[in-house]
Structures are given as structure tokens and as C-alpha cells.
Amino acid sequence: MSNIAGDTAIVELADARLSYYPGFLAVATADQLQQQLSTELNWKQAEIRLFGRLIREPRLTAWHADPGVVYSYSGRRLTAAGWPGSLVLLRQQISMLSGCEFNSMLGNLYRNGNDYMGWHSDDEVSLGSAPVVASVSLGAVRTFVLRRKDNHKIKHQIQLAHGSLLVMQGQTQHYWQHALPRRITVQQPRINLTYRWVI
Ligand SMILES: O=C(O)CCC(=O)C(=O)O
């Protein structure tokens, strides 16, 4: 299903636009960034509202954005919190590669394979009609799964490598959901940085 061109894999899924760059960051850079961001970002286990109930998210999150940018999902309202230098540099590199601009970054810290992300689409109105989500992975390799909204049996999976970048754009969020399932055999942490443009 995937067409590898150089170190870019264009993931060919109907009604989606996905590009995967397994070697986006050199291993030494990714190692250093993971270590730095583990302590530098203000990771918190937040509460979200799901089916009317307040539950603790099964991972830690951190939010950084340009002044005035507010992002809301699952009853959470995130307000701007400045940018550490390392995240600004990464934003520039991702923008050069993808040709897209980003004004915010929602980070996820999965402490081990017990932490996960459930099925969802990044389709909040504030992300516009064709959201671009650029997602950098640092640490443990985890399986990223996609399924069609109109037929959950149609699925695709990608092993997100340490130092990789996955860019989702076009109508991906409109037609597909994604998730990062629990993997109890995974002992090591993983950081995921999702750059977005919030209107
Ligand atoms: O950790 C990942 O790769 C998935 C993150 C994700 O789905 C999200 O932030 O919307």
C-alpha cells in the first residue's frame, strides 16, 4: 500500500493524504530531543469529558501555541503557553518540508504501553475544513492505526519510528479516524508532538 520514495513514504489510502518520513530526525537528535522535552515541557495528566463523564486521559499532555491561540477538545480548553526554543526549531523544519504553517503544538507523553489514544479524528471546527496535523514521534515504536469512518473494517497501520514524522492532510480527518492502541509489552516511553494550525 505504501510507495517509498527516498526516505518518504506516501501512504496511499482512499480519500486521505498521508506522508510518512521515517528518518525525519537523525537518531542522535531524536534521542537528545526526547530527553530534553521529557523534563522541559510541563506534562500533565488532564481530565476530559467523555460521554458525560469526567475521566483522566490515559497519557500526559502539554500544549504550546502562539499568543491568542485557543484549542478545545473533549471539554478541555487549552490557552497559549509560549514556545521553548527546541519546539520552534522543529516547527521551522516541519514547515519547510511540508510547506504548511503551524501555530500550535499538542504534545502527548505515553509513559509506557499502558498509555494510549482512543479512536478519534482531529476534526474540530477550529482546525478548518482540511486540517494539517504534523506528528513527530520520539522514543518507543508504537502502532498508529487508521480506520474509515463509514466502514470500521477498512484499516491501515503504520509503525511510528523514533525520529519519524507523519503528516496528515487533505480530507484525512473527514473520512478517517486514528488511534494509538495500548501495547502492554512496550515498557519504554514515547513522546508525540502534533503541530496544528488552529483558526
Ligand atoms: O501519538 C500519536 O501518534 C497519535 C496522536 C494523536 O492521535 C493526536 O494527538 O490526535
Distance CA 77, CA 20 (A): 30
Does the C-beta of 57 come closer than 6 Å to ligand 1? no
CATH number at residue 102: 2.60.120.590
Atom of ligand 1 nearest to the CA of 137: 3
Cα separation, 76 vs 97, in Å, equals 31
The whole-model pTM stands at 0.93
**Number of domain units in the chain:** 1
Per-10-residue mean pLDDT of the chain, 199 residues long, equals 55 92 96 97 90 92 92 83 92 96 97 97 93 98 98 97 97 97 98 96
Q: Is the CB of 144 under 6 A from ligand 1?
A: yes
Q: Which domain holds residue 76?
A: 2-196
Is 106 near ligand 1, meaning CB less than 6 Å away?
yes
C-alpha to C-alpha distances, 118 to 111, 115, 183, nearest whole angstrom? 16, 10, 13
Burial degree of 127 (CB within 10 A; 0-12, 13-18, 19+)? buried
Question: Which of 59, 117, 141, 142 gets mutated to test ligand 1 (max ligand atoms within 8 A of its CB)?
Answer: 117
